[in-house]
Structure 1
Amino acid sequence: MDRQPGMSVRLKLTLSYAGFLMLAGVLLLAVVWVFLLRYVPETIYTGPPGPLTRPGLVDVPDRSDLLAAFVPKAAAMLAFLLLFSLLGGWLLAGSMLAPLTRITNATRLTGNGSLSHRIQLEGRGDEFRELADAFDTMLARLEAHDAEQRRFAANASHELRTPLAITQTLLDVARGDPDRDNGELVERLHTVNARAIDLTEALLLLSRANQRSFTREHVDLSLAMEEATETLLPLAEKRGVTIETAGDTTPTIGSHALLLQLTTNLLHNAIVHNVAGRGTVWATAGVRAGSAVLTVENTGEQLTPQFVATLGEPFQRGTQRIRTDHAGVGLGLAIVRSITQAHDGTLTLTARPAGGLRVTVRLPAAPPHTGEVAAHSAAGSSTSTPTDN
């Protein structure tokens, strides 16, 4: 934004200091003048001259003499005070505004694209140092977010390039051998195209969650958990996985569609990354310590804490996911994390000692609606869905 040039803050502070000091000096001199006038009469009557008059005793100053002696010295003192206040105010304002200069320089560097610079203002805490620390924290978050976005863009480009390259190869093969049966080719193209569509939809959903562009409403996480369980029950039966759900009314505020997607992703991951034919998934929901808590656990292979810490990253895949027919696009837990952050919640991933993963989502709780409580009571607070093993 273009602005007209004006006085610097340092000059404004200098003039303010000088003006205040001059005003204080004038008031002080006025008080002194009023105090002296109380003891000096307007005129001195010495009487007619005579033989008894002693000249040394009648030389008493009056107010005119006081005015002639006081005003020049007061003016000189005010002039000295003006120069002293301007010089001192300029030096003092420069010392006070030095931290602001460093903050301004850091802001300019940030505007030019440098996010690695930090102010690191030394000294004890005050308003400028609080501002500098807050700015450093903001820069650290921006740098981490920028690095994450660059990594995400690179991974997304790679993931999108793979199905496109496969499609191009299949089309080149079909063009080079026109007499070949195209049934297998069409099937493979359908699979690759479906994967590309799933990846695109996942990217759009992830972008929507990151932008927080959704309408907030009253949502019961336990009902969303039951709805997701019913949707994924055929997949669980196909894989021989048992889903056990339990929970009370778990009200929160957010997007019903996104929170349902969050719950679906967690249950889908728990089913797919499980022990085929004899695995179990436990899903619970409830209010704890003022938070709406959703927990999904599953049996499975042993996971290291280092590996678990990376599962929330985009396009992070375990070896089992790659080998399965439900390979997905590597954005399941990344979407869960983004949706959780968009709802001001926290996501915790923990490796189970017996194998498998425990995922805990904590969201701000909200007062339950009467209709939701009644609906939840009618549906029952716990559900067990065993499957054929």
Structure 2
Amino acid sequence: MDRPPGLSVRLKLTLSYAGFLLLAGVLLIAAVGFFLLRQGEPAFNSAGAVQATPATMFLKAFAPTAVAAMTFLLVFGLLGGWILAGRMLAPLNRITDATRLATTGSLSHRIRLPGPNDEFRELADTFDTMLARLEAHVAEQRRFAANASHELRTPLAISKSLLDVARTDPDHDTTELIDRLHTVNTRAIDLTEALLLVSRAEQRSFTRERVDLSLLAEEATETLLPLAEKHGVTLETHGDITPTTGSQALLLQLTTNLVHNAIVHNLPEGGTVRVTTGVRPGRAVLTVENTGEQLAEELVPTLTEPFQRGTERIHTDHAGVGLGLAIVKTITHAHDGTLTLTPGTAGGLRIDVELPAA
């Protein structure tokens, strides 16, 4: 925004300090003069005539001293005010320099303002925290873009290889080629739709409405029941009415991803998935637990990162695109909720989604 040039804050503070000091001096001199005028008596000569009035004596004796004092106060106020304003605004200059560096893309710089806790220190610490979060977010977005490019390039490279084989070998069985191309293209489409879903959730471009998590849990388990039966996994659903507000489509996707993830990351046979909904003070809670392999503590926090997989999937179908829990995390944050992952003592994983209660 183009704005007309104006006085600097330092100059304004300097003039304010000098003006206040000058005003205080004027008031003090006026009070002293008023006191002298009231207490003074006329001066008489040898003949008994009035030689000088108190006002005349005030102007001759006190006025020059007052003018000199006022001149000194003005110079001292300007010089001292300039120095004092500079010292007071020094932390603000450091914050401004850090802001300029941030606008150039340098997010690693920190102010780290020393000294006691005051308004400038609080502002600097808040700015440092913002830079740290922004740097982490930018790094995460860069990793996401790099991983997404890699994941999208893989099916395209496979399709190109299959087509090159078909071109060099016209007698090759086209049925197998078509089936493999269909599988690869389906994976690319699923990945693209997942990326679009993540983008939509991050932008929060959805209409909020009243949603019952217990109904979404029932719908998700019914939809994935054939997949669970195919892999010998038992689905259990418990819970009361659990109202929250948000996008029903996104929250259904969240629930479906959790249940799907719990099924495909389960025991080879005889596994269990428990879906529970409930209400805590001010919170609507969705919990999905499953049996499975023992997970290391340090591995669990990475499961919500895009394209990260805790273990190799046992079932080659429904292999997913590595965005299941990343989508869950994004949708949860878009609904002002919290996502908690806890490894089971006997194996498997427990995932709690807490959303604001309606």
Using structure 1 for the length normalisation, give the TM-score: 0.88
**1:325 aligned partner:** 317
1:322 CA displacement: 6.6
Q: Secondary structure at the match of 1:66?
A: helix
**2:335 aligned partner:** 343
**1:15 aligned partner:** 15
Match of residue 314, structure 1, among 306, 321, 324: 306
- Counterpart residue type for residue 257 of structure 1: A
Contact 2:44 2:51 in 1 (8 A): no
Change (3 A) 1:211 1:260: same
Pairing of 1:202-241 with structure 2 (within 5 A)? 202-241=194-233
Change (3 A) 1:289 1:31: same
Please, which moves more after superposition, 75-84 or 229-238? 229-238
Contact 2:304 2:326 in 1 (8 A): yes
1:173, 1:357 → 2: CA distance? 43
**2:100 aligned partner:** 108
1:291, 1:88 → 2: CA distance? 57
**1:354 aligned partner:** 346
1:71, 1:317 → 2: CA distance? 88
2:271, 2:320 → 1: CA distance? 20
- Counterpart residue type for residue 160 of structure 1: L
1:282, 1:32 → 2: CA distance? 88
1:226, 1:25 → 2: CA distance? 81
**1:385 aligned partner:** none
1:208 CA displacement: 1.1
2:314, 2:267 → 1: CA distance? 15
1:322, 1:202 → 2: CA distance? 22
Contact 2:265 2:292 in 1 (8 A): yes
Does residue 304 of the first structure (1) align with residue 296 of the second (2)? yes
- Counterpart residue type for residue 283 of structure 2: S
Does residue 65 of the first structure (1) align with residue 20 of the second (2)? no
Does residue 176 of the first structure (1) align with residue 177 of the second (2)? no
Contact 2:44 2:52 in 1 (8 A): no
Pairing of 1:207-286 with structure 2 (within 5 A)? 207-286=199-278
Using structure 2 for the length normalisation, give the TM-score: 0.96
Contact 2:201 2:331 in 1 (8 A): yes
1:234 CA displacement: 1.5
Match of residue 87, structure 1, among 79, 97, 114: 79
1:68 CA displacement: 2.4
**1:379 aligned partner:** none
Cα deviations by residue, 1:2-43 (Å, 9 ceiling, x for unpaired): 3333221111110111111111111112222222222125x5
2:239, 2:172 → 1: CA distance? 56
**2:3 aligned partner:** 3
- Relative contact order (C-alpha < 8 Å, sep 6+): which is higher? 1
Between Structure 1 and Structure 2, whose CA radius of gyration is higher?
Answer: 1
**2:280 aligned partner:** 288
- Count of matched residue positions in the alignment of Structure 1 and Structure 2: 358
1:324 CA displacement: 2.4
- Counterpart residue type for residue 226 of structure 1: E
Q: Secondary structure at the match of 2:268?
A: coil
Unaligned runs of 5+ in 1: 367-389
2:128, 2:93 → 1: CA distance? 15
1:277 CA displacement: 3.1
Does residue 98 of the first structure (1) align with residue 98 of the second (2)? no
**2:143 aligned partner:** 151
1:290 CA displacement: 2.1
Q: Secondary structure at the match of 2:259?
A: helix
Please, which moves more after superposition, 234-243 or 259-268? 234-243
The alignment-based identity, stated in percent, is 73
1:246, 1:311 → 2: CA distance? 25
Q: Secondary structure at the match of 1:325?
A: coil
Cα deviations by residue, 1:97-150 (Å, 9 ceiling, x for unpaired): 000111111111111111110000011111111110000000000110111111
| Alignment root-mean-square deviation, CA | 1.8
1:44 CA displacement: 5.6
- Counterpart residue type for residue 80 of structure 1: F
**1:188 aligned partner:** 180
Does residue 167 of the first structure (1) align with residue 143 of the second (2)? no
**2:37 aligned partner:** 37
Please, which moves more after superposition, 160-169 or 61-70? 61-70
Does residue 334 of the first structure (1) align with residue 323 of the second (2)? no
Query: Which 4+ residue blocks in structure 1 deviate beyond 3 angstroms?
Result: 43-46, 58-61
1:45, 1:309 → 2: CA distance? 99
Match of residue 77, structure 1, among 61, 69, 74: 69
1:319 CA displacement: 3.2
Change (3 A) 1:137 1:322: farther
1:172, 1:221 → 2: CA distance? 49
1:248, 1:37 → 2: CA distance? 89
